[in-house]
Amino acid sequence: MYVTLRDRPGGTSGRKRPGGPLRRVSGTVVLLGTVSLLTDVSSEMVASVLPLYLTAVVGLSPVAYGFLDGVYQGASALVRIAGGYAGDRGQRPKWVAAIGYGVSALSRLAMLPAAGFAAITAVVTADRLGKGLRTAPRDALIAAASRPELLGRAFGVHRALDTLGAAAGPLVAFALLASLPGSYDSVFVVSFAFAVAGVAVLVLLVPDLPSVPGAVRAGVRRAVAQVAGTRLRRPLLAATLLGLVTVGDGFLYLALQDRDDFAARWFPLLYVGTNVAYLVLAVPLGRLADRVGRGRVLVAGHLALLGGYLLAALPGGGVGLTVAVLLLLGAFYAATDGVLAALVSRLVPADSRGSGIAAAQTAVVLARFASSVLFGLAWHVQGPRPALLLFAVLLAGAVPVAAWLLRGVDRPAVAAGDEGVAA
Amino acid sequence: MTGRVGGLGPRARLGVLAVVLLVATVGAGGFVWRVHREQAAVRTSATGAPTRRNLAGVRDVPHLVFRNTALGTDYGRVALVPLSAPDGPRAVTPASCERVHATRDEALCLASDRGLVTTYRAQVLDAEWAPRRDLPLVGTPSRARLSRDGSLAATTTFVFGDSYANPGQFSTRTTVSRVDGEVVGDLEQFTLVVGGKVVTAVDRNLWGVTFADDDRFYATAASGGRTWLVEGSLTTRRLTALREDAECPSLSPDGTRIAFKKHGDLPPGRWRLAVYDLATGAETLLAETRSVDDQAEWLDDGHVVYGLPRSEEGTATSDIWMTNADGSGAPTLLVPDAWSPSVVFPGGR
């Protein structure tokens, strides 16, 4: 049984959605999950064939591809904050998200004539910018459409649908290539169709925030005040600290393939394994977060990551260990990605929600970027195993600090009747 | 459940959505169907390039072995043309390879079987183009080279996925094996010496081997965003840098020069073909001004051949071009619809 009382941090309640208590997860969340599913089918179709396309068809060398992948990762962090703030500012997060999805969709079509390195870089960058732009306003919509005590579950459902799309994309792409050898254009066109379907579902079916008569538009100052305010300070610090000791999964896969033949042979499948674990665990861990506290689950997720480091650093290899590392990685993502958004969205008032979520996600992205550089250096100097052990020690030190920073975070001051849920 | 969007009621919005989904499905489906029809049409109307039947006949004369990229049933197959008529009909073999290198008696074939699980194979093919032995291979095929007497095989593959938030990170794996299957070594395990100092950085990458004899070879080494032409020895397991900014070396038949691609100050992902004189260290830029990302092959001591993706009409195919090794003249199209050339003289050069 769960409590029907609404708790709106900052006291901006006043919106009631009909049928709330009867739905465990709102239709909007499922629709947004569907949008993400379709979009991820689209983007993973392209992402999975891109290495082959670039090296086998366009004829780029490995060096150039590595450069491209860097562009991929870097581009989205910048626009994330802008997207979150723009969604809050106009009180129209849906349309900011729609622009983000639309830009990514158009970038698929631009793959058709793009032949040179520069053109493909531009297209890939546009795709990533779109992704950066849409994430925070979309998460703000999920938060707005969900009852606070069920936020973890709502984000879990969304992330599970999202990951399902990510898993299906490569299958669609390879099925196409298998029946139409060498026709990468078909992959791009079908990918575009999926993206268009996603944008259409978003634009036509997903409701935007209902306008609040007389509501003051959130200015920069208010957004900054909220984001830098006392409520978010500790979670942001904790997220940054944990991000600084989080090694990118690419490095973990490399460490795995470095030590055992199984991982090397099935290298392209390692991330699929992680995704499957993430997919299966996203909803259960989201629900768990609603029950025992999001801060706790977030911290526990990092313990799973710690386990992953240690197993990946073991000298011997083997199928069992590799699969265990993938499971732990999947559990880590399931316990952190949506859970962080759920946690943050309850700590800021609704009119700054996008900015708050964007701030947390950007902190994580930037911290992980820094950690990747540091880990790369450590790997450089000492090799994979000592580098992993070093980061395991750092992570083991960071987890108690983060737990301390996040203590009590699941009981915001305004909580009315929330205690019954948390117990 | 929702407010009005764009002035449309819920029913109208569902209607619009249905139309959008229909258009997307029909559009994408139509495109795929058209490609399917085109490929079928190409298959039935003979092949994209004229072929000849007498495979053995071509094998007995000086010839070029390459990957056939003419659309049709033979797309991706290894094909041969006599050097006397390179743009004439080609003899198609049963082998399918993404990268191939051949000598008189055998060929090294790199291929990937794409699917839910993409797997890769490197095979030594015998004179009948049948697989004789599997060599270890991990990752997307990139470069393949046999030594002149066909006893050594070098493969470069691209193990990707390691670039998370790390510009410039990538990973290649270059392995030298005896064609009888014995692995001689992973070049990344060799000692790399640049300017007298041993480079221990873990981001070392090696690719693009060309063999000088049964022990010596040349290759590309990279670390920290720089590349070097290195000379290596299989017995000492040591790589020594000869010069900077040189990728995918190819040793001339007389063993005096190396054709390579040079990045210089070009934009990222673009290269210029050049020739390096091993004795004098002199560098000659070749007449080809388009960006070449290939390991060139020497036709004879005066000419190099290389693949170029065709820029018009997408990038589905590629051609093999030839240019003078002394920088003079202009590039000429040698074999259309072809990729990954190797030059074979059955009676020796």
**Of A55, A201, A372, which has the smallest distance from its Cβ to B165's Cβ?**
A372
Write out chain A residues lying below 8 Å of B32, CB-based: 176, 180, 186, 189-190
When mean pLDDT is compared across A385-394, B50-59, B150-159, B298-307, the lowest value belongs to B50-59
Locate the chain A residue with the closest alpha carbon to B34. A186
Q: What pLDDT, on the 0 to 100 scale, is given for residue A57?
A: 60
Q: Residue A69 domain-assigned?
A: yes
The long-range contacts involving B266-272, CB below 8 angstroms and separated by at least 24 positions, are B266/B291, B267/A117, B267/A118, B268/A64, B268/A67, B268/A117, B268/A121, B269/A60, B269/A61, B269/A63, B269/A64, B269/A67, B269/A68, B269/A116, B269/A117, B269/A118, B269/A121, B269/B293, B270/A117, B271/B247
Q: Which of A116 and B265 is assigned the larger pLDDT?
A: B265
Confidence of residue A375 (pLDDT cuts 50, 70, 90): confident
HEC per residue, chain A: CCCCCCCCHHHCCCCCCCCHHHCCCCHHHHHHHHHHHHHHHHHHHHHHHHHHHHHHHHCCCHHHHHHHHHHHHHHHHHHHHHHHHHHHHHCCHHHHHHHHHHHHHHHHHHCCCCCCHHHHHHHHHHHHHHHHHHHHHHHHHHHHHCCHHHHHHHHHHHHHHHHHHHHHHHHHHHHHHHHCCCCHHHHHHHHHHHHHHHHHHHHHHCCCCCCCCCCCCCCHHHHHHHHCCHHHHHHHHHHHHHHHCCCCHHHHHHHHHHHCHHHHHCHHHHHHHHHHHHHHHHHHHHHHHHHHCHHHHHHHHHHHHHHHHHHHHCCCCCHHHHHHHHHHHHHHHHHHHHHHHHHHHCCCCHHHHHHHHHHHHHHHHHHHHHHHHHHHHHHHHHCHHHHHHHHHHHHHHHHHHHHHHCCCCCCCCCCCCCHHHHC
Q: Domain count of chain A?
A: 2
- B210 contacts chain A (CB < 8 A): no
- Model pTM? 0.69
- The answer on A283 and A206 residing in a single domain is no
Which residue type occupies B262? K
Write out pLDDT tens, residues B123-147.
999 988 899 888 877 677 788 999 9
Percent of chain A with pLDDT over 90: 32
CB contact under 8 A, A204 and B25: no
Nearest alpha carbon to residue A65 among B317, B117, B247, B161: B161
- The answer on A171 and A293 residing in a single domain is no
- B119 contacts chain A (CB < 8 A): yes
- The answer on A44 and A90 residing in a single domain is yes
- B43 contacts chain A (CB < 8 A): no
Contact yes or no for B272/B262 (Cβ under 8 A): yes
- The answer on A328 and A222 residing in a single domain is yes
**Residue that the structure tokens 């366009």 belong to:** A58
Write out chain A residues lying below 8 Å of B264, CB-based: none
What is the number of CB-based contacts under 8 A between chain A and chain B? 232
- The answer on A252 and A166 residing in a single domain is no
CB contact under 8 A, A66 and B115: no
Nearest-CA distance A141 → chain B (Å):
13
Confidence of residue A349 (pLDDT cuts 50, 70, 90): confident
Locate the chain B residue with the closest alpha carbon to A19. B1
Q: Residue A419 domain-assigned?
A: no
Confidence of residue B48 (pLDDT cuts 50, 70, 90): low
Contact yes or no for A209/A92 (Cβ under 8 A): yes
Count of residues in chain A: 423
Q: What pLDDT, on the 0 to 100 scale, is given for residue B335?
A: 94
CB contact under 8 A, A62 and B158: yes
Best to test chain A binding among B110, B160, B248 (most A CBs inside 10 Å): B160
**Up-side HSE of residue B278: CA atoms within 13 Å toward CB?**
18
Confidence of residue B169 (pLDDT cuts 50, 70, 90): very low
**Of A57, A373, A376, which has the smallest distance from its Cβ to B316's Cβ?**
A57
Q: Residue A422 domain-assigned?
A: no
Q: What pLDDT, on the 0 to 100 scale, is given for residue B164?
A: 26
Q: Which of B152 and A365 is assigned the larger pLDDT?
A: B152
- B40 contacts chain A (CB < 8 A): no
- The answer on A97 and A52 residing in a single domain is yes
- The answer on A82 and A53 residing in a single domain is yes
HEC per residue, B302-320: CEEEEEEECCCCCCCCEEE
Domain endpoint, select from A174, A192, A211: A211
A19 Cβ neighbours under 8 A, 6+ residues apart: B1
Nearest alpha carbon to residue B275 among B266, B288, B142, B233: B288
Confidence of residue A180 (pLDDT cuts 50, 70, 90): confident
Which residue type occupies A257? Q
Q: Which residue range(s) make up the domain with A53?
A: 24-211
Nearest-CA distance A186 → chain B (Å):
6
When mean pLDDT is compared across A196-210, A327-341, A401-415, B72-86, the lowest value belongs to A401-415
Q: Residue A1 domain-assigned?
A: no
Which residue type occupies B266? L
- B114 contacts chain A (CB < 8 A): yes
Q: Residue A12 domain-assigned?
A: no
**Of A176, A257, A380, which has the smallest distance from its Cβ to B203's Cβ?**
A380
CB contact under 8 A, A373 and B166: yes
Write out pLDDT tens, residues A321-339.
889 999 999 999 999 988 9
Nearest alpha carbon to residue A115 among A40, A170, A188: A188
Q: Residue A168 domain-assigned?
A: yes
Does the domain at B52-344 match CATH 2.40.50.1040? Answer given as: no
Write out pLDDT tens, residues A257-273.
777 666 666 666 777 78
Locate the chain A residue with the closest alpha carbon to B308. A59
CATH number at residue A330: 1.20.1250.20
Write out chain A residues lying below 8 Å of B76, CB-based: 181-182
- The answer on A253 and A180 residing in a single domain is no
Contact yes or no for B221/B228 (Cβ under 8 A): yes
Domain boundaries, chain B: 1-45, 52-344
Gap between the Cα atoms of B2 and B6, Å rounded: 12
pLDDT of B189 above 60: yes
Locate the chain B residue with the closest alpha carbon to A49. B114
Write out pLDDT tens, residues A14-59.
344 444 333 478 889 999 999 999 999 998 888 777 766 766 566 5
CB contact under 8 A, A117 and B269: yes
Nearest-CA distance A65 → chain B (Å):
8
Q: Residue A277 domain-assigned?
A: yes
A166 Cβ neighbours under 8 A, 6+ residues apart: A40, A41, A43, A44, A275
Write out chain B residues lying below 8 Å of A383, CB-based: 202
